[in-house]
A and B are shown apart, each in its own frame.
Chain A
Amino acid sequence: MSREIIHQTAAEMSAELASGNVTAVELANAHFDRISAVDGDIHAFLHLDREGALAQAASVDASRKAGEKVNPLAGVPLALKDVLTQKGVPTTCGSKMLEGWRPPYDSTVVTNLKKAGVVILGKTNMDEFAMGSSTENSAYGTTRNPWDLSRIPGGSGGGSSAALAGFEAPLAIGTDTGGSIRQPAAVTGTVGVKPTYGSVSRYGLVAFSSSLDQAGPCARTVLDTAMLHEVIAGYDPKDSTSINAPVGKMVEAAKKLDVKGMKIGVVKELAGDGYQAGVTTRFNGALEALLSAGAEIVEVSAPSFEYALAAYYLIAPSEASSNLARFDSMRYGIRIGDDGSRSAEEVMKMTREVGFGKEVKRRIILGTYALSSGYYDAYYGSAQKVRTLIKRDYEAAFAKVDVLVSPTCPTTAFKIGEKSDDPVAMYLNDVCTIPVNLAGIGGMSLPCGLAPEDGLPVGFQIMSPAMKDELMYQVGGTLEAALQSSWGQPLYASAPTLAVK
């Protein structure tokens, strides 16, 4: 791979910008050129905001030229998942329901990005309303994995992960309700972090399952992810679940490169049958690297994780059935069948029939069922009890170890279409990531190699106690450095070269 500016890490781009070797406008244009060249095949982006991005870049260049102090990421481009509002820029959530909608306000994540001078290139594809593990549920077509165009880029944030792996952006924002940041990161050989619940504001994040949804940073390296984390995290009075505490020092942690004396727990239940051989091989290789770096590795049991997937697929649809009631065709979004003869209720039903895709309807119906009288205690009530058990498993584990680890997903990227007609098989893909959301703790996925049998990236998951997200960065940064020195280059550098158009 001949190394161009788009192949640099965000930290390297930041240094180039600071030294004046490149301007933010040049950097944005280099990425728009790359997008024009490869996104016809990848389809990571749903919308590009050239005008807004170049205006932001020019303003950052002017600030730097005037000698003003700017954030290290000022002028670095970013791809934004289409579930976060950006004023005046189309926000669809991958749904027909919001086709053409331009939000009148910025999400807090976007406000923070703009304040830091980050250049938002455009909005990325996703499973409709973040429900899915493949982006096949987008109303606007499937995104393709840059490692193999016949395979999924993960989901729901497959547009963001594919943009990173395809060098269309060095930074991206994802959201993670059951794994939608970490699973896409795993299958594309990139890094994604689901921060502690409440540490990044949900204001302007279109809600799927409010008690689980969490926005987070994505990039190609642990350090870049840490830099972005510090930009987007922080207390926000506009989100009543926002935690009022200082943001941890993620960048410092990512640079420590030291795990001597740290205790790392391997979750016994997240292994074994159903895990692809190459996933297990690469996971074990990463454990050895951590051991060599001086960490202590112990096995930890989390017996209630067995129930996590089932609890999640009751809690998330239940909350979704309530949250998605807002799409009533009255105040925003599309409206179908309003010919003067029909009642508001009829119009609402027709709009929701047309506006929602198959998976969204499936989950609304499931959630409505789980919350209905007669079934509430058996389903939703039980799921909430399971949630307590999972929290207790984590509390017991974190009393013994600093962080927990597992594979991020049981397999590498599957083929487009392989699981789209089998919702239960699709749901199984999230088995390792879901417990983190139910307990509200932090989770990171970083690449730990290519599976020998298919040559596709494998993800390594690190879980840290609530409000100790810096521990993931410390362990992740150390592991990344150890693996890269054994490979001789970062994993993303070995991605196949994309056809350029």
Chain B
Amino acid sequence: MAAISREEVAHLARLSRIEMTDAELDHLASEMGLILDSVSKVQAVADQDIPPTSHAIAMQNVMRPDVVVPSLTNEETLSGAPAREEDRFKVPQILGEE
């Protein structure tokens, strides 16, 4: 079975910016092993020389004419903001105190 440790899950949770309790980390670590086992089948083709497909119907360089079109107003853009100050999104501090 593909083993994935609790520490690895904790690292992935940090990368994903999700706080997790110890119980959640333990549970997820055991589940991840089972899920990875069930998807490891794809590795049968890992060494084969097959071009990857990222999109089923490939398109390249989709552009629009460089002209101004109407967009949301400030008021509409800020309508769902958890916090705002004047015409801006208000966010918690980004830089540390020290």
Which A residues are closer than 8 A to B by beta carbons? 101-105, 196-198, 211, 237, 240-241, 243, 306-307, 309-311, 313-314, 321, 325, 328-335, 338, 340, 342-350, 352-353, 356, 361-362, 364-366, 368-369, 372, 377-379, 381-389, 391, 423-424, 427, 437-441, 466
Contact = CB atoms under 8 A, between A and B. Distances in A.
B76 interface: yes
A347 B79 CA distance: 20
Contacts of B38: 309-310, 313, 424, 427
Given A197-B56, A314-B39, A343-B93, A356 B18 contact: yes
A384 B53 contact: yes
A349 B54 contact: no
Contacts, number: 179
Given A310-B38, A379-B39, A211 B17 contact: no
Given A329-B82, A338-B92, A369-B12, A377 B39 contact: no
A338 B93 CA distance: 10
Interface residues of B, number: 53
B51 to A, nearest CB: 6
13 contacts: A196-B57, A198-B57, A241-B57, A310-B39, A330-B89, A364-B16, A364-B18, A382-B43, A383-B42, A437-B56, A439-B56, A440-B55, A440-B57
A423 to B, nearest CB: 6
Nearest to B37: A424
A377 B48 CA distance: 12
Nearest to A243: B57
Given A310-B42, A385-B48, A391 B53 contact: yes
A104 B82 contact: no
Interface string B31-51: 110111011111111101011
Given A104-B76, A314-B39, A466-B57, 19 more contacts: A103-B80, A104-B72, A196-B57, A211-B54, A240-B62, A309-B38, A314-B42, A343-B93, A344-B92, A344-B94, A349-B17, A352-B19, A353-B20, A365-B18, A381-B52, A384-B52, A385-B51, A440-B57, A466-B56
